[in-house]
Structure 1
Amino acid sequence: MKNRISVLAIISLLVLLGACSAQTSGKESEVLVKTKYGNITKDDLFKEVTSSDRGKELIQKLVYMKILEEKYEVTDKEVNQRLDDIKEQAGEFEMFLQKQGFENEKQLKEHIKQSLYFFKATTEGAKVSDKQIQDYYEQNKDLYTKVRTSHILVDQESTAKEIKNELKKGTDFAELAKKQSTDKVSAAEGGDLGYLSGRSQELDPTFLAAAMKLKKGEVSEPVKTVFGYHIIKVTDREETPLNEVKDQIKQTLMGQVAKPVQEILNKLNKEIEITEDAFKDAFKDVGPK
């Protein structure tokens, strides 16, 4: 079969080919590490990989990625665009990497690349119309909008109402923030929090929803969150036009109609030729059903 993939050829990437040859030919396996207590050979490494769950996962990953890389193309531009999207949504990027278990940006990019290959496999043939893209954009405009926000945070609702009345009389928002806000960091800046977007994940959702509803120059009524009562003011509002996020929305909609990953794995399994019995168990749980 033209596109069948030999698992044995894949495993040679781990320098396990020598181990396979040693086992089948009866020759002594090459020593990889020497100690005065004993040596580690390619046979030892081979047995460890083929018998452990982690080893089986590694075999699966190598095989499936080999097939997907032949079938689809993932460009550096696509990877970097997805990385930029993650950075925009993550807030503190280094903290995001740590929470997600990535040692560095390079490791995340490799994960993104692999995810994109599976995305292309699961969405192959999926169709999304311009109307669907337009409708999604209109229904989720907050995701593509940034608002520069200031706030005054206080402990009591009655205090928040008094501040709101002061603002109606024309009192300067920044001056009131400096004098009365319990958020001392933003108070020093006249209550300024910088730009927020509907994608912001580090903010209280009630606060974010209230801020996104305000027009430029508009001030909210008291908004209650776990931190207290906020008076929110939007000082600027920027909407990203549809043409700049059309491809991003298309990817989102295609993801909603993607085939199950298991279905793709079952299909890929038909293109795998297992030439070494030791590797058969690695695909036992993901075989065609």
Structure 2
Amino acid sequence: MKKLLLSTFAASALLLAGCSNDPEVASTEAGRIREAELYEAMKDEPLQSGMTVGETVLQKLLMEDIFEHTYGDQVTDEDVDEEFAASAEQFGSVEDYESLLEMQGMDVDYIKDNIRLTLLIRAAVEDSVEVTDEEVESLYEEQRPDYTAQHILVEDEELAKDIIAQLEDGADFAELVEEHSTDPGSLDTEGKYTFSEGEMVPEFEEAVEALEVDETTSEPVKSDSGYHVIRRLELEYAPLEDQQEDLKAQVLDNYTNDEQFMSELVSKLAKEANVQIADDDLKGAMAAYMPQDEEEEPAEDVEEEAPADESDESEETDEQTDADANADAENSDSE
């Protein structure tokens, strides 16, 4: 009886110990859900990407560790806060942005962790690429706009004609923009647009192309938006030296968005970091960057066969030996 009680006590202790090592995450009247169960469910829950929830989360954690290991000393908390503040500008202020995130149930620290990872990746790309002057100049030319023009948009054709007459009499274009133009997109720029082909409505572009620099349309230009009075200006485009740093950053961004380049970079860093995934069910987390070596098939045993000509030669030799032996025997009998 004493042994039975001791056994029961021991079993209960083991059960309690197992529970304490596997914390509860949720419960219902039907039972309890523990961390191990949640972990297993996450491992198997598929996503549209083809990976599971567990693989996706593990990949992010590994990425953070890999880039932090090599480039962590190149990204400071100040860098993260500065980037966070830049993102907040479109929402008014940092406080407004934080309030918006809170309303959406998003954690500020989580956002900053993602910003830090982005900055770490940028540091890795910059360390792996030497941006050439040719790349910067090529991007500069690629982004060069075609025209700069100034316009006044009104709804009435007669008003447009009256504005043209005022301009011919020496009226100030910018003042007439402020007084008459109904285009909200150019009110803060004195009616100016700098653009490339295909960015404006066809009627507007055709009219600008037909004008000489500082020339104004002699008749209103009609489009679906109304009637335009247009003046072509000298192309406004900052010189290369003033855009050098921004263009270099864009070149680096292009590398960051290059899937093949980033795959090779992450593969290299993962190998250097000696990434090991102990759980076989989560091996797919880094499959895109750590292709598994195919197991070599064992070579099949091949029985060595003598070449046909060597076999024939051997048989001929044996026959000749037998013939010689018989001849010797006959000679011996005759003697």
Q: Same fold (TM over 0.5)?
A: yes
Letter in 1 for 2:285: A
Alignment RMSD (CA, Å): 5.2
Q: Deviations over 1:135-169 (max 9, x none)?
A: 65576466xxxx9x975323477764553333222
Using the size of structure 1 for normalisation, the TM-score is: 0.57
Shift of 1:57: 1.0
- Please, what TM-score do these two structures have when normalized by structure 2? 0.51
- The aligned counterpart of 1:252 is 250
SS in 2 for 1:273: coil
Aligned to 2:268: 267
Task: Note if contact 1:60-1:283 (Cα within 8 Å) is conserved in structure 2.
Answer: yes
The aligned counterpart of 1:127 is 130
d(CA) in 2 for partners of 1:233, 1:51: 64
> Which residue number corresponds to residue 58 of structure 1?
57
Q: How big is each residue's C-alpha offset from its partner over 1:51-88, in whole Å with a ceiling of 9 and x where there is no partner?
A: 22233211101111111111113345655666677678
Aligned-residue sequence identity (percent) comes to 26
**Structure 2 gap segments, 5+ residues each:** 1-13, 46-51, 293-335
1:49 aligns with 2:50: no
Distance 2:154 2:173 in 1: 14
Give 1:276 shift: 2.4
Mark the CA change 1:120 to 1:275 in structure 2 (over 3 Å): closer, same or farther: same
1:117 aligns with 2:120: yes
Which structure is higher in RCO with an 8 Å CA cutoff and minimum separation 6? 1
Equivalent residues in 2 for 1:152-231 (5 A)?
Answer: 152-155=152-155, 160=160, 162-173=162-173, 176-177=176-177, 180-183=180-183, 192-194=187-189, 205-206=199-200, 221=217, 227-231=225-229
Letter in 2 for 1:193: D
Inter-CA distance 133–282: structure 2 relative to 1 (3 Å threshold)? closer
Deviations 1:96-148 (A, max 9, x none): x99xx996987665444323333333453321245654665576466xxxx9x
SS at match of 2:127: coil
Cα distance, 1:178–1:267 mapped onto 2, change above 3 Å:
closer
Measure the CA separation in 1 of the matches of 2:241 and 2:108.
29
Which has the higher mean CA deviation after the structures are superposed, 101-110 or 29-38? 101-110
Determine which structure has more spread, i.e. the larger CA radius of gyration: 2
Question: Against the structure 1 CA distance between its residues 30 and 123, is the aligned structure 2 distance closer, same or farther, given a 3 Å change threshold?
Answer: same
The AA in structure 2 aligned to 1:267 is: K
* Aligned residue runs from structure 1 range 19-168, under 5 A: 27-28=18-19, 29-52=22-45, 53-72=52-71, 73-76=74-77, 78-79=79-80, 109-130=112-133, 133=136, 136-137=139-140, 140=143, 151-155=151-155, 160=160, 162-168=162-168
Cα distance, 1:197 vs. partner? 8.3
Of Structure 1 and Structure 2, the greater strand share is in 1
Whole-angstrom distance in 1 between the partners of 2:34 and 2:159? 74
More helix, by proportion:
2
After superposition, give the CA deviation of every residue in 1:229-255 in whole Å (9 maximum; x if it has no partner). Answer: 4336799x9976766643322222234
Q: Which amino acid aligns with 2:18?
A: K
